[in-house]
Amino acid sequence: MRINERADVQRAKRVIVKVGSSSISGDNAGQIPPLVDALAAAHGRGVEIVLVSSGAIATGMPYLRLEERPTDLATQQAAASVGQNLLIFRYQDSLDRYDIVAGQVLLTAGDLDDPTHRSNAQRAMARLLDLRILPIVNENDTVATHEIRFGDNDRLAAMVAQLLDADLLVLLSDVDSLYTKPPQEPGAERIANVAYGDELEGVVFGSTTVNSVGTGGASTKASAARLAAESGTAVVVTSTALVHEALTGVDVGTWFSPAA
C-alpha cells in the first residue's frame, strides 16, 4: 500500500531502514540493541523490515589498528572484509533476543545496473522476507571499486526501496531532522514536511562530510529521499535515537511525501 502521510505509517507492510557508520560503531556501538528493539517491534507487527547498514569499514578499523578511515582502496577493502563479519555478528547477537534471523546481502552498484543481477537480488531479498528473515544490506566494499560505488548508503537505501517497492524508507543519522541550515548555526529551523517535488529552495545544506568513520550528510539524505519519493516510497529522515518513533508514525524528523 502507498503511505501518503505519517498517520499511515503503522499500516506500512514493507519498510527499509538505513543506519550510518557513526551511529553504530565506535563509542556508538551500544546503539545497536535499541535499534534492534525498534526493528523487532515492527517485525512483530508483521512488517517486512530490511536494514541497510553502513559500518563495515568503521567496525574493522580498530582491528587493523587504524584511527582514521583509510583513504586508499586496498585498505578500505581490508577493513571492510574484517568489519562486515563483526558487524553482522553484533546485529545477530542482538536479534537473537527476539528469535529473528538476519540474512546478509552485499551489493555493488553494478549489481543493480545489470538486469540479471538486479533481478537475482530482488528475488533473493523477496524470498528472505517471505521467510520472515531480516535482510541486512550493505555495499560490498571488499570488491567495489571507486568507479562502481553507490557513493553513499543513503543512495543505496533509496535504490533498495525502489527495488523492493517499499512503502516507507527511514534514513537515520546522528541528527534528528533536516534543517533550513546546518543545525549548529543560529536561526536553523527544523523542516518537518517536504511536499513531493519541493526543491527546498533557500535551504542551505552543509557539504557532504567525510569523517573518521564514514561519509554522508544532509544533502545526500535529501537526494536519496527524493529518489525514493519519485518511486512512490514515503521517507522519514531522523536520528537513530528516534527510530522507534519514526516507525510508529510519531511526528519526528523530516517527512518526504511520495509521488502519487
The continuous run of DSSP H or E covering 254 comes out as strand 254-256
List binding-site positions for ATP.
18, 173-174
Largest separation between any pair of C-alpha atoms in the chain: 50
How far the first Cα of the chain sits from its last, in Å, is 12
List binding-site positions.
18, 54, 141, 153, 173-174
Question: What's at 247, amino acid-wise?
Answer: L
List binding-site positions for substrate.
54, 141, 153
Nearest of 87, 86, 91, 79 to residue 144 by alpha carbon = 79
Q: Which string of DSSP letters, residue by residue, matches 83-127?
A: HHHHHHHHHHHHHGGGT--EEEEEE-HHHHHSHHHHHHHHHHHHH
Nearest of 230, 186, 222, 225 to residue 205 by alpha carbon = 222
